[in-house]
Structure 1
Amino acid sequence: MKKTIVLIVFSLLGLIVKAQQSTDNTITGIINDSISHLPLEYATVSLFLKGSSKPLTGTVTDKTGHFMIKEIKDGVYTIVCEFIGYKPFKIKEVSLNKTNSVVDIKTISLDPQKTNLQSVTIVAQSKLIENKIDKMVYNAEKDISSQSGVATDVLKKVPQVSIDVDGNVQLAGSSGIRFLVNGKPSTAFGSSITDVLQSIPASQIKSIEVITNPGAKYDAQGLGGIINIILKTNTAKGYNGNLSLTAGTRNENGSFNLNARNNNFGVNAFVSGNQRLTSTTHSSSDRFTQDSISNNTLHQEGTGQFERHGIQAGTGFDWTYKKFNSLSGSVSYNDFGYTGNGQTNQALHSDKVVGEPSILSAINSNYIYTFKNVDAGLNYKRTFAKEDQELEISVNTSFGNNKNTSANEQSLLPQDSLFYGRRSNNPGKTNNTEIKIDYTQPLKKDVILGVGSKTSYYNINSTSNVDGYRPVTQEYQPDFSLSNDLKYHQKVYALYGEISFPVAGLFQAKIGSRYERTEINSYYSNAQHQVKIPGYNTLVPSIFLSKKIGDHHTVKLSYSKRIERPGYEDLNPFVNTNDPKNLTAGNPYLQPEIGHRVELGYSRDLGKSGSVMLNLFYRVNEHDIQPYLVYYPSYKVGDTTYTNVTVNTRQNIGMEQNLGMNLFADVHINTKLGLRSNVFLFRRHTINTLDQGYDYNSFNYRVNLNANYEFTNTLVAEFFGNFNSARYEAQGRYPSFTTYSFAMRKQFWKKKGSLALTANNFMQEYVNQKTVLFGPGFSVNGLRKIPFRSIGINFTWKFGKLEFKKDNRNKESEGAAPLD
C-alpha cells in the first residue's frame, strides 16, 4: 500500500513539473549567402534535443531567408542549418526556458561549397507544386512532358487553370487574368494573351506563380487573379547556362540562357524562338434566323490555314552594394505574329418567296498580324539591419508596335463574280509605364506594416485604313465609314496599406485595402458621337487568415475584391465587316466588371509521400462582361446596309455567381512511381438583365491525372490526361475538350544532357469542337475540326562552372559555429 502511495505521489510531482515547463518558446533567424548576402529561400533548419541524433522538429526559410520555429518545449538544443551546394552549420547549446523563451540567432551566412556544375548531383529538390501563404507555385523545370511545348502546355497542368483548344486561359473559371512576366507587365499581353503564351517555349520557364486572391499590394485588375511567369535565371557565382532545341510535327522551338556572377554582381541573357507550323482547320456552321416576314438559313463550310511565330531576347543584371542595397534591371525584345488564309462556301436560303433558290457564294480571306515590343525595368531595394524593414522602388515600361492587315473577297456562284471586298491596314502603337514604391516596417514582434503607391500610364494610338470594292467601277476605293483613328489613354493611381499580425496565438492575419483612381480619355474618329468615360474610384479590401496546425496542416481563409476594366479593343466602336453576315463591333458603353471572392483552403504536407490541397470558393461578378450576339434583319454601317446579319459585341449582361472547389493531390507511391491529380468543379448561375428569360445554371468541371515513373536515375516517363467539361455562357454552350500526352526523357553526359520524346493526342489528328449558341430570333450550330496531334523531340544541354571562394568572416561573431 505504501509503495502504491509513493508511486502516486511521484507521478503527481512529475505531472506538476511537466505542467510547469513552457511549450511556448520560439527560435528565429535569417539565412543568407556569405558572398552575395542574398537570402536563401527553402534552406532547411533542423532542431535537435541535446544528446539526440534524431531531429525533433524543423522548418524552411521563406523568400527573405527568414525562419521561425514555434511551440518548443524547455530544454537545451542544437540547431543545424543546411542548403544544397552550401556547407552546413551547427549552433550548439541553445537554451530555452521561462526566462529565455525567445532566441533570435540573427543572421547566419552559409559558405558555398566549391563545386563544378557538371558534377553536381541534386539529392533533394523542391516540390513540383508549392502552396505558400498567398500563392501557389508550379515548378515547371520539373515537368518533362511540357519540355518540348509552349507556355500553354505548362499552364494546363497548374491547379485551377484551364486551357481550351484555342489556347484561351481561365483561372478558377474566369478569363479575367492579370498576366506578368518576372513580376512585370508587358504590352504584349495587352495585344493578344493567347498569341504570346503560345510563343514562349516551355523550356524557357522556371516556374509559374498563381494568386487567386491577391492582397492589397497587388493591382486590383484581373477578376480571376494573377498569373506570374518566372523565366530561368541563376544567382550562383560563376557561370552556367542551358540550351534547348525542339523539333516537332506541330511546334518547333529553341532557347538559350546564360548566367554569370562575380561576388555581388550578376548578369544574365537569353534568346528564344517558337514556330507553329502551318496547319489546316475545317469548320462548318448552320445559323437559323427568324424575323417578322421570313425564316432564313445560312450554311457555311470551309477551311483555314494558320501559322504562328515568336522571338524573344533579353538581358538583365543585379548588383548588391554594401549588403543593404541592391539594384537590378532588365530589357527584353519580343516579336510575335501569325499569318493565315481561309476559303468558305456559303449558302443563304430564305422562305420569303416560295421556291426561291439559295444564294450561293464563296469567301476568300487572308490576314497577317505582327507585334513587336521592348520591355525595360529598373528596381532598387533597400534593406535594413532591422528584420523585415524594406524599401523598394521600381520603374517598368513597355513600348509596342503592331500591324494588322487583312483582305476579304466574296463572289457569287456559279459565275464566280466578285461583288464584295474589303482590304484593311491597321498599324498601332502601345505604351505602358508603371512607377511603384513599396515599404514594409516591423512595428513589433510578428507585426509588420506594408504601405505603397503605384502610378500606371497606358496609351494606345491606332489607325485603321479600309478600302472597299465597288462593283460598278470594279475598283477598291477608301471606305471612310469603316476607316478610323483611335486614341486611348488610361491612368491609374493607387495607394495601399496592409498589416500582418498574430491573433491571440490562434492564427496569423493579414488585412489590407487598396484605393485606385482610374481616368480614361478616349477618341474614336468613326463614332457617331464621342462617349466621355468619367473617372471612377475603386476601393479594394482584402483579408487573409492562416492557421498552421502542427507541422503538416495549414488552413487559410481569404477574401478579396477585384476589378476587370474593359480594354480598348472592347470599347472601340469600329465594326469589322470582313464577313458581311457575321459582324463584330466594340462597345464604348461598357462598365468595369466588379468581382468579390471568398476562399477557404486546407493543405496537408505528407512529407515524402506527397501533399494534398483543398480549396473552396465563392465568387460573384457584378456588371458581368460576356460576348453577346444580336440578330438584325438589316444593319447599316456608313452608306452600306447589311441584311440578315448577327453582330457580336461584348456586353454587361448582368450578374454571375460561381460556387466551387479545387482538390489537388500529389502522391508518391514509392521512390519510382508518383501520381498527381487535380479536380476542379463549380456551379455557375448567370442572371441575364439584357434578355429576360435567358438566365441559366450550369455545372462545370475539369479533371486531370499525371503519372510519372522513374525507371533509373536517368530515365523517366510521364503521362498526362486532362478533360474540360463543356462551358456555358449567357448565350449557349461551348464545347468540352480532352487532351493527353506521353513523354519520356533520357539523361546522359552525367545529367548535363537529355533527350525527351513527347506525343500529344497521338491517337487522332483532329479535335472536334461543337458549339451551340442561341438568342432572340437566332440559333447557331457550329463545328470546328482542329488539328491537335503532335510529336516532338527535345534536346537540352546544361553547362557551366560554379566556383566559390571561402568567406573569411568570423561566423562565431554572428552566433554560429562550424558544423563538427
Structure 2
Amino acid sequence: MNTLITKTYQLLLLLLTLITVSTYAQAPKTGNTIVTGSLQTEQGKPLDYATVTLLRAKDSSVVKGTLSNDAGKYTLDHIAAGTYIIAATNMGYVKSCSPTFEVTGTQTNVLVPVIKMAAGSRTLQTVTITSSKPLIERKLDRTVMNIENSVLAAGNSAMEILERAPGVTIDKDDNISLKGKQGVTVMINDKLTYMSASQLATMLKSTDGSTIQSIEIITNPSAKYDASGNSGIINIKLKKNKMSGTNGSLTANAAYGKNFRDNTSLTLNHKQGNLNIFGTLSRGDQTRENNIDIDRVIDSAGSSTYFKQNTKMLNTVHYNNYRVGADYNTSKSNTLGFVVNGDYTNEYNNNISTTYLGKTPAANDSYQKTFTDMLQTYRNIALNLNDKWQIDTAGQELSIDLDYSKFKNNSNAKYDTYFYRPDGSSLMPALFLRNQTPSDITIYTQKADYTLPLSKSLKLETGVKFSSVKTDNDLQAQINSGSIFVNDPTRTNRFIYDEKVSAGYINLGKTYKSTSIQAGLRAEQTTSNGNLITQNQIVIRSYLDFFPSLFINHTLSDKHEIGVSYSRRIDRPNYDNLNPFRFYLDQYTYEQGNPFLKPQYTNSYELSYTYNKTINVTLGYSRTTDVSAEVLLTDTLTKATYQTRVNLQTQDSYNININSPYTIAKWWTGNVNINGFYNSFKSDSLLGSTLNNGQAAFNIRTTQTFLFGKGYKAEVSANYQSPQTYSIFKLREQYSVDAGVSHSFLNKKLNVKFAVTDIFNTRRNNLSTRFQSVNLDIRQKNETRLGRLTVTYNFGNSKIKMRQHQTGSDDEKGRVKSGG
C-alpha cells in the first residue's frame, strides 16, 4: 500500500508539473511595471476602499483589479506593455475613468493622474451597504470560509461551524484535525488562545456563530506566526462593525433535537470622529446528549475478560460571554486600542455508565453501574492593549500588543459505583469517590512587529515576542470510608507547569516580473518546568529552535498561478496532555496525561496551482518526528483501559486538496472541496512492538446556494469522510447532510433563518483498534440532528451617509485588535 500511494502521489505531482510547464509555454508573459494612483472626492478627500479596475484601452477588457486603501491610493503590479484606462467605482459615486495612458515595458513605475469621483444623485441621502462573498474563498496563503452571510452558520456554535470548514475534522474527544493531521493551532482574531484541548472545545461550543465573520485556514504559515501547530493554523475572525454613528444587532436562536437549546447575542458599535467603541454580549443554554458503546477484551494471566460498556452522557452548558473595546486615532498615522473579553460558563455533566463483565462474550459474570455528576466552572478574562503606528505612506509601520489572560476553572465531580451479580443482587459494597480540581492559568505576552519597505519590490518584516504561561492544577481526591469522605493519597496530586518562550523572526519579500519570493527565519527559546508536587517528579526542559520558511509564487498568466512553500514547525504538548491526573468514566476507563511528553517537530512542503483565482489544487507532504499521538493502554493488573499520549517515532503525511467554486445559473452557485490524504505512523517500541500503520483516505464537502423568490436564500451542504487511520486507531466513515433557508424583511433589517443539521441523523464517531494487548471497539453518537430558528434584527444607523463617506472618517478597517 505504501508503494502504491507513493507512486500515485508522484504521478499526480508529475501530471501537475507537465500541465504547468505546458501552460507556461503558451501563456503570455506579464510585465514588471507598477501602476499607482489615487482617488479623491470632489472636495479633495481620499476615497477609501473603492473598486479600481485596469482596462485595456482598445476593447475595455479587464486586466486586473484592486481596492484603494484608507488613504485613497491603489497599486497594480506586474503590468505588461500596452495602452490602458483606470476605471473607479464606489457605492454612492458616479463611475469615473482616467485618461488613456501607456505602459512601454521599460518603466519601473507609472503614476496615473488623480481621479476625482463625483457623488451620485443629490436627492439620495443614504446608501445601504450590501455584499455577498462566496462561502469558500481561496487567497494567496490561506483558504477563507465566509460565515457572516451563511444560512447554515446561523444559530450554530463556533465548534459546529468549524466542522464544516474545508479539510477540518473533529473527533469524538473534540480534537481538531486539518487535512487528516492533528496538531492544529487555533487563533481568534490573529491571537493564540493558549488553552488546553478541553478548554478550547468548551470555549468554541459556547461561542455564538452569529459573532463570527470568517474562518481562515492557513496550512503553511510564515515565520511571522508562532511556530506551534504542525498541521497549520485555524484563525477565527470575529465581526467588526465599520459603520459610522451608533448601530447594532440583536440575534435570538432556538434549536431542538432531543433537547432544547437557545442563545441570544447583542452587538453594539458607536463610531464618531476618531473614536470607535464596540461590544458584544452573548448568553446561551445548551443541552447535548451523547451515547458511547465500548466493547473490549482484556487478556491477563492466560485468561480473557470481556467488557461491554454503555455510557449515556448528558451535557448542559450555560454561558455568558462578553467582548468590549475601543480604538482611538491619536493622529492620522497612529491608532491606540484596547479589548477586554471573557466568559462566565457553567458546565454540568450527568453520566450513567453500565459495564458488563464476563469470561465469554455471551455470558456476563457481573455488572456495575457508575453514576457521575460533575460541575465545571470557567471564569476567564483576557485584556489586550495595542498600538499601530503607520510611520510613513510608503508602508513602514510598527505595531505593539500587550496581553494578559487569566483562566480560572474549577471541577467538582462525584462518582458512585454499584456492583451487581447477573441476577441484579448486590455483589459487593458500593464505591463512592469525589474529586475537586481547581485549575488556574495565567498568561502574559508582549509582541512587536515592524514592517519596512526597502524598495517598491523589496519588503522587510521583523518582530519579537515573549510569552509566559503558568498552570496550576490541584487534584483533591476523596474516598468514602464508612460514613465520611477521607483523602485518597493514591489519587490526590498537584501539578504546576511553567513555560516561557522568547521568539524573534525576520521575513524578506521580493517581487520580480512574475514571481514573488518570501524567505523567513524564526527563532524560539523555550524553557519549561513541570512539577508533580505530591510525587516529587520534576521535568525541566530548555531548548533553542530555528524555524525557516520559504514561499515562492509565480504568475504564468492572468488565469494561471503556481506556488511552492516550505516551513518547519513545533508542537509543544498541551497543558492537559502533560497533566498526569486521572479523569474517570468508571474504574475500568479513564484518561491520564503524560508529564514526560516531548515536543514534536514537522517539516512541511506544499505545491499549489490556481486557475482563474478560483480553482485551487495543492499537493503537500510533511514529516513529523517525536509524534505526540493518542493511544489506549491496558493495565492488565486492574484490567483498566486508559487513554493517554506518547511520542511515536515518525508520521509521514501526503495530501492533495482541490477546491472549486462554480456557478450553474444566476440563482444557483456552489463550492466543492476534495481532500485526499495518506498518513503513516511508525514506532520501533510501542507496547513492546513495532508500529507501522497507514491508510489512504479522503473527504468530500460540497455546498449549494440557491436564490429564489423575492429575497429568499437556501443552502444545502453534504459531507463524506472515508475510513482512515490515526495512530493505532481505525476510524470508520462519516457522512451527513445539512440544509437551511433564510429571508429578510423590513428593508433587510430583520432576517429569519431556519436550518436543519444532519438531516438523516447519520453523523457518528466509530473506531476500533487491535494492537498488542489493546482490543477495543467504540461507537459514539452525539445529538447532531437539530432544527434551528434564528432571528436577527439590525438597528440604528445601518446606512452610511454620503457626507460621511466623503469625509473619509470611516478608516478603521483592519485596525481592531482583540484578545484570544
Per the normalisation by structure 1, the TM-score is 0.87
1:734 alignment partner, one of 697, 706, 731: 731
Q: 1:506 to 1:55 in 2, by over 3 A?
A: closer
SS in 2 for 1:703: strand
Work out whether residues 139 and 207 of structure 1, in 8 Å CA contact, stay in contact via their aligned partners in 2. yes
- Report the Cα offset of residue 694 of structure 1: 2.9
Query: Which residue in 2 is equivalent to 1:752?
Result: 749
Work out whether residues 460 and 489 of structure 1, in 8 Å CA contact, stay in contact via their aligned partners in 2. yes
Q: Which amino acid aligns with 2:781?
A: K
Work out whether residues 585 and 649 of structure 1, in 8 Å CA contact, stay in contact via their aligned partners in 2. yes
- Report the Cα offset of residue 745 of structure 1: 0.7
Query: Within 5 Å, which residues of 2 pair with 1:338-353?
Result: 338-350=347-359
1:258 alignment partner, one of 253, 268, 281: 268
Work out whether residues 520 and 548 of structure 2, in 8 Å CA contact, stay in contact via their aligned partners in 1. yes
C-alpha distance in 1, partners of 2:802/2:367? 75
Alignment of 1:704 with 2:701, yes or no, is: yes
Q: Which amino acid aligns with 1:155?
A: L
2:36 alignment partner, one of 28, 40, 55: 28
Alignment of 1:385 with 2:392, yes or no, is: yes
Query: Which residue in 2 is equivalent to 1:7?
Result: none
1:229 alignment partner, one of 228, 236, 243: 236
C-alpha distance in 1, partners of 2:330/2:86? 30
Query: Within 5 Å, which residues of 2 pair with 1:775-790?
Result: 775-790=771-786
Q: Which amino acid aligns with 1:520?
A: S
Alignment of 1:462 with 2:473, yes or no, is: yes
> Can you list the C-alpha shifts for 1:317-337, whole angstroms capped at 9, x where unaligned?
122233111112211121234
SS in 1 for 2:148: helix
| Stretch deviating more after TM superposition (579-588 or 621-630) | 579-588
Query: Which residue in 2 is equivalent to 1:638?
Result: none
SS in 2 for 1:655: strand
C-alpha distance in 2, partners of 1:127/1:460? 41
C-alpha distance in 1, partners of 2:663/2:372? 52
SS in 1 for 2:240: coil
The number of residues matched between the two structures is: 766
- Report the Cα offset of residue 315 of structure 1: 1.1
Query: Which residue in 2 is equivalent to 1:572?
Result: 579
2:285 alignment partner, one of 275, 288, 300: 275
Work out whether residues 200 and 273 of structure 1, in 8 Å CA contact, stay in contact via their aligned partners in 2. no
- Report the Cα offset of residue 311 of structure 1: 2.1
Alignment of 1:626 with 2:636, yes or no, is: no
Query: Which residue in 1 is equivalent to 2:677?
Result: 682
- Report the Cα offset of residue 86 of structure 1: 5.8
> Can you list the C-alpha shifts for 1:163-221, whole angstroms capped at 9, x where unaligned?
34665421222221221111123355665222211211111111111111110100001
Q: Which amino acid aligns with 2:510?
A: F
Alignment of 1:298 with 2:307, yes or no, is: yes
Query: Which residue in 2 is equivalent to 1:60?
Result: 66
Structural RMSD (CA):
3.1
Q: 1:22 to 1:348 in 2, by over 3 A?
A: closer
Work out whether residues 571 and 601 of structure 2, in 8 Å CA contact, stay in contact via their aligned partners in 1. yes
Work out whether residues 550 and 565 of structure 2, in 8 Å CA contact, stay in contact via their aligned partners in 1. yes
SS in 1 for 2:210: helix
Work out whether residues 46 and 55 of structure 1, in 8 Å CA contact, stay in contact via their aligned partners in 2. no
1:660 alignment partner, one of 655, 663, 676: 655
SS in 2 for 1:216: coil
Query: Which residue in 2 is equivalent to 1:8?
Result: none
Query: Which residue in 2 is equivalent to 1:491?
Result: 500
- Report the Cα offset of residue 40 of structure 1: 4.8
Query: Within 5 Å, which residues of 2 pair with 1:233-632?
Result: 233-250=240-257, 251-277=261-287, 279-350=288-359, 358-413=365-420, 414-416=424-426, 418-470=429-481, 473-503=482-512, 505-527=513-535, 529-577=536-584, 579-605=586-612, 611-632=614-635
- Report the Cα offset of residue 427 of structure 1: 1.0
- Report the Cα offset of residue 497 of structure 1: 0.4
- Report the Cα offset of residue 677 of structure 1: 1.0
Per the normalisation by structure 2, the TM-score is 0.87
Query: Which residue in 2 is equivalent to 1:818?
Result: none
C-alpha distance in 2, partners of 1:165/1:423? 25
Work out whether residues 539 and 596 of structure 2, in 8 Å CA contact, stay in contact via their aligned partners in 1. no
C-alpha distance in 2, partners of 1:594/1:118? 58
Query: Which residue in 2 is equivalent to 1:648?
Result: 643
Q: 1:808 to 1:632 in 2, by over 3 A?
A: closer
Q: Which amino acid aligns with 1:531?
A: I
Alignment of 1:142 with 2:142, yes or no, is: no
Q: Which amino acid aligns with 1:571?
A: L
- Report the Cα offset of residue 83 of structure 1: 3.6
C-alpha distance in 2, partners of 1:625/1:39? 52
Identity %: 23
> Can you list the C-alpha shifts for 1:72-92, whole angstroms capped at 9, x where unaligned?
3244x4423334456655433
Query: Which residue in 2 is equivalent to 1:9?
Result: none
- Report the Cα offset of residue 406 of structure 1: 0.9
Work out whether residues 187 and 373 of structure 1, in 8 Å CA contact, stay in contact via their aligned partners in 2. no
Q: Which amino acid aligns with 1:68?
A: L
| Stretch deviating more after TM superposition (91-100 or 192-201) | 91-100
Q: 1:397 to 1:781 in 2, by over 3 A?
A: same
C-alpha distance in 2, partners of 1:702/1:70? 37
SS in 1 for 2:161: helix
- Report the Cα offset of residue 546 of structure 1: 0.7
| Stretch deviating more after TM superposition (411-420 or 449-458) | 411-420
Consecutive unaligned residues of structure 1, counting only runs of 5 or more, are 1-20, 635-642, 811-820
- Report the Cα offset of residue 476 of structure 1: 1.9
1:795 alignment partner, one of 791, 795, 799: 791
- Report the Cα offset of residue 772 of structure 1: 1.1
Q: Which amino acid aligns with 1:342?
A: N
Q: Which amino acid aligns with 2:742?
A: R
- Report the Cα offset of residue 275 of structure 1: 2.4
Query: Which residue in 2 is equivalent to 1:673?
Result: 668
Work out whether residues 309 and 355 of structure 2, in 8 Å CA contact, stay in contact via their aligned partners in 1. yes
C-alpha distance in 1, partners of 2:152/2:599? 39
SS in 1 for 2:577: helix
SS in 2 for 1:460: strand
C-alpha distance in 2, partners of 1:69/1:108? 19
Q: 1:111 to 1:335 in 2, by over 3 A?
A: farther
| Stretch deviating more after TM superposition (492-501 or 574-583) | 574-583
- Report the Cα offset of residue 574 of structure 1: 2.3
Alignment of 1:172 with 2:179, yes or no, is: yes
C-alpha distance in 1, partners of 2:192/2:254? 30
Q: Which amino acid aligns with 2:719?
A: N
Consecutive unaligned residues of structure 2, counting only runs of 5 or more, are 1-28, 809-820
> Can you list the C-alpha shifts for 1:512-535, whole angstroms capped at 9, x where unaligned?
0100000112221233x4233220
- Report the Cα offset of residue 446 of structure 1: 0.8
1:715 alignment partner, one of 707, 712, 715: 712
Work out whether residues 96 and 116 of structure 2, in 8 Å CA contact, stay in contact via their aligned partners in 1. no
- Report the Cα offset of residue 572 of structure 1: 2.1
Work out whether residues 111 and 806 of structure 1, in 8 Å CA contact, stay in contact via their aligned partners in 2. no
Work out whether residues 125 and 802 of structure 2, in 8 Å CA contact, stay in contact via their aligned partners in 1. no
C-alpha distance in 2, partners of 1:49/1:456? 52
C-alpha distance in 2, partners of 1:328/1:153? 31
Q: 1:659 to 1:109 in 2, by over 3 A?
A: farther
Q: 1:255 to 1:332 in 2, by over 3 A?
A: same
Q: 1:552 to 1:125 in 2, by over 3 A?
A: farther
Q: 1:284 to 1:98 in 2, by over 3 A?
A: closer
> Can you list the C-alpha shifts for 1:58-108, whole angstroms capped at 9, x where unaligned?
311388875324323244x44233344566554335454467551245998
Q: 1:273 to 1:782 in 2, by over 3 A?
A: same
